[in-house]
């Protein structure tokens, strides 16, 4: 086994190239946390410029095929790219991350026509357009398949009606929606939906920003379609196969490289903060209870890091695939959030809640973590993750299915 | 970065699994657990014949010079099968201490014998005032007329009931709590003045109390330098702890597998209990604990094998043991939650695993001990 990455001189040269380029697009000064999670329109447009510049080099979707606007880069090059973005973030500086929604691209790659791949996928991978995934509805959260939005065919258009909530992540509307709607009200569950790439500038679309206590991915919106006439060539896959399209995952795992970049590095920052900050005339970290809290968080930081490496090794075929591991990592980060939030309150008291620009701790990241520790539902609640993980373990609906249990590591 | 096992490690793993399946079904482990001395000479001999006791020992002393990661492959399988700890005590713990600090003469005498199983050793560090730090070692050894004379008590010593020789950590220096002044002595278990008895306990290993009443040990039985024993223990204790963690990974894996299987087949309310989300939640947590234990341990072994700086080795080993102790205990507890009645019945193997988890929880340092060590290393 080897837990370290070793890069050739050619790859290190690529790293220098990436670093040089990022220096030309990243902000120079650290950006307070609140500002980087809820972007102002000004920063948002700046981000879109960065996105286009990345796209020109194929670095906005580095692992995707070049013929559709991706970078066609191999694992090592992608990893270096992501490492360099992480380095900028580490410095508290802001740069737009090359995160292409795998949900959008997977549906298109698996079910889109060649024409759709050219017209819809390519600009997306080049960073020229932005789309919002519009799945969740007021009465369809975890039970997504019960959604009510409709898309009734009328010749060469579909007439879209319905409301989506908790969608988007930008201060202004996007270029299109990736929208799920009922195409056949009489058909059974999972066989009644269509998946659409709806242009966001069609008449009949209404936007309402949501006023939330927190969002880890930016400004959320409510979007309503009122008799919106969407061209039929924006339907992805067959008319009643939208569920399958929405559940598509890429044959080749994308973003495997991302899992090799440790998350939750905030824990390391808070440990350093406690070593330097005095309380009752001694460093916070001298208190034995605080020490133990910090070491427990430190352990969880390493759990995330090690499982990320494990998942990476799994996508590379180094170790046998276990069906539950992807969800396990996701579940871990969701369960860690409230543990971290509580620890911050235990260690720092009400200072952990301060947003005052002069008094906030670690550029506001402490308050951000405490605020967001109750926001664990995005991308699927922890309970939904548990259901999926149970299936991966061969329980519940997965019972009787063979769980891959070869010799571990072999 | 490559987390795969080598081809030879995979072969080793498969052959170990096959061997243990044949030779060591859980009913055999139960028999050993219920025997007077918790020992099976027959199993000892078979394992020794497999060469597992000599794998990691230096080649010049009859060993195979394998890496810790190689050895851990075997110990993970031993943990799955729940083999008794005497293999670990003698070959890993004592073998590693001797290999790193003993004189040439001591090595030549003992290591080949340990490696082929002719000699069985146990390690005595802990005392009635239990703990794994230097401050917990107070058994006094005074040097008189060319001999060490030992006065005091060792306690919770595993495997002392069956061994020929013990490695004892004793206090030769004046200070009673510092790292300075600790020495390692090889003590014949039949020495005059040494009384030993088993402590009755709900334990997966036999705990022994050893009372030293003017026990004389010749100077030639000193391992390493006088008063420098704690320093000499550091590396072998790190290495042995990582191997113990891999044994615990095996234990966790077995608990998860048996619990999944039980939840798939046990029917209540007309369906397999694995269909109930509460039950699923317990098993998911077992899988979480297992995967934590597995990867902290793997990284610890890698850092030891690749000779990373000492502070990194200390940290990663302590992280691994802090995690492994919690993980094995929790996997056992959750296994009981899912199994309910049958879990406490001795005609089913679960209790052997949860009992072992409780025993190993404190062995070589409990989670708090290791978290404190990590705190010191982080400069907190």
Same-domain pairing of B362 and B336: yes
pLDDT in the model for residue A410: 29
Compute CA B152 distance to the chain's CA centroid, rounded to the nearest angstrom.
24
- DSSP letter, residue A379: T
Structure confidence by residue, pLDDT tens digits, B123-143: 999 999 999 999 999 999 999
Compute the Cα dihedral for B123, B128, B133, B134 and give only its sign: negative
Instruction: Report the residue from A274, A292, A318 with minimal CB separation from B3.
Output: A318
Q: Within a domain: residue B141? A: yes
- Between A149 and B174, name the one with better pLDDT: A149
Q: Within a domain: residue B2? A: no
Q: Are A399 and B2 in contact (CB under 8 A)?
A: no
Same-domain pairing of B367 and B249: yes
- DSSP letter, residue A138: T
Q: Within a domain: residue B239? A: yes
Q: Where does a domain end: B207, B225, B243?
A: B225
Q: Where does a domain end: B75, B91, B119?
A: B119
Do B380 and A271 lie within an 8 Å CB cutoff? yes
CATH code of the domain containing B288: 1.20.140.10
Which tokens hold the place of A72?
């066609």
| SS3 per residue for A231-295 | EHHHEECCCCEHHHHHCCCCCCCCCCCHHHCCCCCHHHHHHHHHHHCEECCEEHHHCHHHHHHHH
Interface residue B153 vs chain A (CB under 8 A): no
Same-domain pairing of B80 and B178: no
pLDDT in the model for residue B209: 98
pLDDT in the model for residue A379: 84
Q: Where does a domain end: B202, B225, B248?
A: B225
Please tell me the total count of domains within chain B: 3
Any idea which of A216-225, B33-42, B246-255 has the lowest mean pLDDT? A216-225
pLDDT in the model for residue A256: 61
Interface residue B5 vs chain A (CB under 8 A): yes
Instruction: Indicate whether this complex's ipTM tops 0.85.
Output: yes
Interface residue B293 vs chain A (CB under 8 A): no
**How far away is chain B from the Cα of A190, in angstroms, using its nearest Cα?**
22
Interface residue B296 vs chain A (CB under 8 A): yes
pLDDT in the model for residue A409: 33
Interface residue B260 vs chain A (CB under 8 A): yes
Of all residues in chain B, what percent carry a pLDDT higher than 70? Answer: 100
Give the residue-averaged pLDDT of B64-75. Answer: 98
Q: Where are the domains of chain A?
A: 9-100, 104-113+130-246, 262-398
Contacts with A, B 297-326, CB within 8 Å: 298-299, 301-303, 306, 319, 322-323
On chain A, the residues whose CB falls within 8 A of the CB of B379 are: 275, 285
pLDDT in the model for residue A38: 87
Q: How crowded is the C-beta side of A351, counted as CA atoms within 13 Å?
A: 14
Q: Within a domain: residue B1? A: no
Chosen for mutation from A299, A304, A314, A333 (greatest number of chain B CBs closer than 10 Å) is A299
Instruction: Report the residue from B3, B257, B319 with minimal CB separation from A1.
Output: B3
Interface residue B67 vs chain A (CB under 8 A): no
Q: Are A80 and A19 in contact (CB under 8 A)?
A: no
Instruction: Report the residue from A387, A393, A409 with minimal CB separation from B287.
Output: A393
Please give the interface size between A and B, counted as residue pairs whose CB atoms are below 8 Å apart. 149
Q: Which residues of chain A have pLDDT under 70?
A: 249-257, 398-410
Interface residue B143 vs chain A (CB under 8 A): no
- DSSP letter, residue B190: T
* CA gap A21, A119 in Å, rounded: 28
Q: Are A276 and A283 in contact (CB under 8 A)?
A: yes
Structure confidence by residue, pLDDT tens digits, B337-372: 999 999 999 999 999 999 999 999 999 999 999 999
Same-domain pairing of B142 and B242: no
Q: Which CATH number does A9-100 carry?
A: 1.10.540.10
Tell which CATH classification among 3.40.1160.10, 2.60.420.10, 2.40.110.10, 3.30.70.120 matches the domain A104-113+130-246.
2.40.110.10
Q: For residue A310, what is the nearest residue in chain B, using CA coordinates?
A: B3
Do A275 and B301 lie within an 8 Å CB cutoff? no
Same-domain pairing of B45 and B111: yes
Interface residue B266 vs chain A (CB under 8 A): no
Instruction: Report the residue from B275, B306, B379 with minimal CB separation from A396.
Output: B275
pLDDT in the model for residue B303: 98
**CATH architecture under which domain A262-398 falls:** Up-down Bundle (1.20)
Q: Are A223 and A177 in contact (CB under 8 A)?
A: yes
The model carries a pTM of: 0.95
Q: Within a domain: residue B73? A: yes
Same-domain pairing of B46 and B130: no
Give the residue-averaged pLDDT of B104-112. Answer: 98
The packing angle between helices A365-372 and A325-348, to 10°, is 120
Domain that holds residue B87: 7-119
The packing angle between helices A75-90 and A9-25, to 10°, is 40
Same-domain pairing of B241 and B356: yes
Same-domain pairing of B221 and B270: no
Q: What's the first-to-final CA gap in chain A, in angstroms?
A: 12
Among residues B39, B37, B68, B38, the alpha carbon closest in space to that of B55 is found at B68
Same-domain pairing of B44 and B171: no
**How far away is chain B from the Cα of A87, in angstroms, using its nearest Cα?**
20
Among residues A201, A197, A203, A202, the alpha carbon closest in space to that of A232 is found at A197
* CA gap A247, A237 in Å, rounded: 12
Do B291 and A309 lie within an 8 Å CB cutoff? no
**CB-based contacts of A278, cutoff 8 Å, min separation 6:** A284
Q: Are A231 and A157 in contact (CB under 8 A)?
A: yes
Same-domain pairing of B221 and B236: no
CATH code of the domain containing B202: 2.40.110.10
Among residues B138, B156, B152, the alpha carbon closest in space to that of B194 is found at B152
Same-domain pairing of B98 and B165: no
Do B257 and A407 lie within an 8 Å CB cutoff? no
**How far away is chain A from the Cα of B235, in angstroms, using its nearest Cα?**
21
Do B302 and A309 lie within an 8 Å CB cutoff? no
pLDDT in the model for residue A254: 42
Same-domain pairing of B193 and B237: no
């Amino acid at each position: 086994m080897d837990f370290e990455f070793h890069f050739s001189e050619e790859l290190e040269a690529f790293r220098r190239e990436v670093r040089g380029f990022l220096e030309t697009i990243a902000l120079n000064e650290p950006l307070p946390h609140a500002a980087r999670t809820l972007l102002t329109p000004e920063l948002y447009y700046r981000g879109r410029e960065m996105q286009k510049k990345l796209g020109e080099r194929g670095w906005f979707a580095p692992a995707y095929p070049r013929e559709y606007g991706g970078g066609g880069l191999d694992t090592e090059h992608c990893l270096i790219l992501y490492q360099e973005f992480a380095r900028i973030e580490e410095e508290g500086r802001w740069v737009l991350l090359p995160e292409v929604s795998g949900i959008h691209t997977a549906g298109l790659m698996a079910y889109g026509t060649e024409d759709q791949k050219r017209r819809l996928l390519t600009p997306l991978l080049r960073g020229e357009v932005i789309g919002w995934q519009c799945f969740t509805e007021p009465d369809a959260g975890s039970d997504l398949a019960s959604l009510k939005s409709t898309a009734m065919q009328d010749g060469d258009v579909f007439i879209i009606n319905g409301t989506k909530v908790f969608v988007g992540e930008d201060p202004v509307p996007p270029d299109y929606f990736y929208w799920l709607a009922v195409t056949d009200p009489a058909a059974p569950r999972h066989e009644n939906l269509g998946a659409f790439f709806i242009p966001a500038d069609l008449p009949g679309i209404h936007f309402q920003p949501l006023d939330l206590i927190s969002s880890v991915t930016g400004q959320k919106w409510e979007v309503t379609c009122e008799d919106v006439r969407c061209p039929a060539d924006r339907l992805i896959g067959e008319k009643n196969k939208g569920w399958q399209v929405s559940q598509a995952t890429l044959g080749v795992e994308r973003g495997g490289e991302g899992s090799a970049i440790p998350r939750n590095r905030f824990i390391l920052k808070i440990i350093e903060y406690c070593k330097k900050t005095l309380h009752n005339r001694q460093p916070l970290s001298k208190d034995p209870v605080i020490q133990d809290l910090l070491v427990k968080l430190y352990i969880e930081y390493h759990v995330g890091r090690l499982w990320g490496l494990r998942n990476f090794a799994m996508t590379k075929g180094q170790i046998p695939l276990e069906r539950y591991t992807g969800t396990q990592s996701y579940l871990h980060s969701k369960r860690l959030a409230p543990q971290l939030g509580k620890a911050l309150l235990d260690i720092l008291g009400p200072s952990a809640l301060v947003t005052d620009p002069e008094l906030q701790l670690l550029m506001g990241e402490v308050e951000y973590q405490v605020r967001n520790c109750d926001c664990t539902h995005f991308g699927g609640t922890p309970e939904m993750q548990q259901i999926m993980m149970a299936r991966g373990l061969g329980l519940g609906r997965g019972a009787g299915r063979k769980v891959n249990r070869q010799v571990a590591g072999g | 970065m490559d987390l795969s096992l080598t081809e030879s490690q995979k072969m080793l793993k498969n052959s170990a699994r096959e061997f243990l399946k044949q030779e060591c079904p859980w009913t055999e482990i139960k028999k050993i657990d219920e025997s007077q001395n918790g020992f099976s000479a027959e199993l000892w001999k078979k394992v020794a014949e497999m060469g597992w006791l000599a794998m990691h020992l230096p080649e010049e002393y009859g060993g195979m010079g394998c890496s810790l990661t190689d050895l851990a492959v075997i110990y993970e399988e031993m943990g799955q099968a729940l083999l008794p700890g005497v293999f670990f005590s003698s070959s890993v713990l004592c073998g590693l201490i001797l290999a790193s600090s003993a004189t040439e003469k001591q090595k030549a005498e003992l290591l080949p014998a340990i490696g082929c199983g002719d000699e069985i050793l146990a390690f005595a560090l802990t005392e009635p005032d239990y703990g794994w730090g230097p401050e917990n070692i107070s058994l006094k050894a005074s040097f008189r007329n060319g001999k060490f004379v030992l006065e005091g008590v060792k306690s919770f010593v595993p495997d002392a009931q069956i061994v020929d020789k013990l490695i004892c950590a004793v206090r030769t220096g004046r200070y009673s709590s510092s790292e300075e002044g600790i020495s390692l002595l090889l003590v014949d278990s039949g020495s005059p003045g040494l009384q030993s008895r088993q402590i009755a306990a709900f334990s997966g290993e036999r705990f022994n109390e050893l009372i030293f009443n003017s026990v004389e040990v010749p100077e030639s039985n000193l391992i390493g330098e006088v008063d420098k024993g704690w320093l000499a223990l550091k590396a072998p204790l790190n290495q042995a702890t990582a191997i113990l963690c891999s044994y615990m990974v095996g234990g966790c894996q077995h608990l998860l597998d048996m619990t999944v299987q039980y939840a798939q087949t046990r029917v209540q309310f007309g369906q397999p209990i694995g269909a109930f989300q509460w039950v699923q939640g317990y098993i998911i947590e077992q899988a979480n604990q297992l995967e934590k234990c597995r990867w902290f341990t793997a990284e610890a072994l890698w850092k030891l094998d690749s000779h990373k700086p000492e502070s990194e080795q200390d940290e990663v080993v302590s992280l691994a043991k802090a995690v492994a102790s919690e993980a094995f205990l929790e996997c056992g507890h959750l296994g009981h939650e899912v199994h309910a009645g049958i879990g406490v019945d001795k005609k089913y193997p679960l209790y052997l695993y949860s009992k072992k988890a409780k025993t190993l929880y404190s062995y070589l340092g409990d989670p708090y001990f290791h978290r404190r060590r990590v705190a010191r290393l982080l400069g907190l």
